[in-house]
Amino acid sequence: EVFPPPPSSIDGGGGVGSGNEESNDDDSLTRNNLTRHLRFTFNCETASDTAKSIKNYKKAQSLRQKYQCAKIQRKLLEEGLDRCASQAFFPHSKKILRLFPHICNFCTDKYDRPVAFVPLRHLRIYEMMSEIADEEYFAYEMYRWEYMSQLLMSISARTKMLAQWVIIVDMQKFPTSIFSRKGMNYLRKPHLVLNQIFKELLGPIIVINAPPVFQAIWGIAKYFVTSRTRKKVSVYGRDFEAKLSELISAKNVRRLVKETMTQADRSFGSDSSKDLKTADA
C-alpha cells in the first residue's frame, strides 16, 4: 500500500482511554502514552531500543510537568474536544490563523484518523515573526498538540488502534521565505520541545503540489533520514488526486482540491467544526 494502515493494534488491559487510567497522566505511566514511546510494533527490535524509549518517555513526563500540560489538558476537556476543533479556543489563535492559515481537522481518513490541511501559500512568515512573539506561538502550538493528543487518545479507545494524525501540506504557490534561516528557526523552535513531549502523534505526511525542484531535493534527502521517516513522507506534484483517494474519500479529495483553488477567499480555522461533519464514515 502507498499509505500503510495504523502501525499498532491495542488490545487487552481495558484498552487505551477506557477510563481505567489515572486522570492525571503527569503522575502515572498511562497505557496510551507509554505505548507511543515503546516502539515494539514500529521498529523496536532490541532491549536497548526499549530502554531508550522508556527513558524518552520519562523525559517527556518531566517536560509535561514543567509546561503544565495537565492544566492545558483539563481546560481542553472542560471546553470539549468538538468545540476545540475550530482552534479558536487556543491562545493567540486569531492572529496566528490570520498569518498562518491551516485547518487542524479537515476530515478523517479510511482508518478514522484525523487529517490536517496546511496550505503554505498564505503563510506570512515575516509578519508572524514581527507580530507574534516566540512564547505566544509556543503557547498556541502547545494547546494544538495537546488537543491532538487527547483526540487521538479517544480515537484509539474506540478503534483499538494506535491512532495518529495525518498531515497534508499544500505547496502550491508557497512563499520561498519560509525556507530562510530565520523563518525555519522561528517555525522549528517550539517543536524542539513539543517533539519531546508528544511522541508518535504524526502518521503519514503528504506533500501535494510540490514543485519539481522540491521533488528533486526530497529524492536525494530521503536517503539521509530513517526508514520510518522515509515511509511516512510522500511527495507529489499536481497529480496527487488518485494517490490521495487511496487514503481519504473521493468526496474529501474534491473538497481538498477546491480548498487549494479558493484559499485566498477563506478564513482558515474560523469554522473547522463544520469540516468534522463531512468526515469519512
Residue range 36-94, pLDDT digits in tens: 544 433 444 455 566 777 777 788 889 989 999 999 999 999 999 999 988 999 999 99
Question: What's the confidence (pLDDT) of residue 272?
Answer: 37
Tell me how far apart the alpha carbons of residues 250 and 237 are, in angstroms, rounded to a whole number.
18
Question: What's the confidence (pLDDT) of residue 111?
Answer: 87
Residue whose entry in the numeric block shows the C-alpha cell 498538540? 145
Q: H or E element: which one contains 207? A: strand 202-208
Average the pLDDT over 176-186 and give the result.
89
Average pLDDT, the chain: 78
Tell me how far apart the alpha carbons of residues 18 and 9 are, in angstroms, rounded to a whole number.
15
Model confidence pTM above 0.85: no
**The residue type at 63:** L
Q: For residues 36 and 165, is the Cβ–Cβ distance under 8 A? A: no
Count Cβ neighbours within 10 Å for each residue of 221-237 and write b for 16 or more, e otherwise. Answer: eeeeeeeeeeebbbbbe
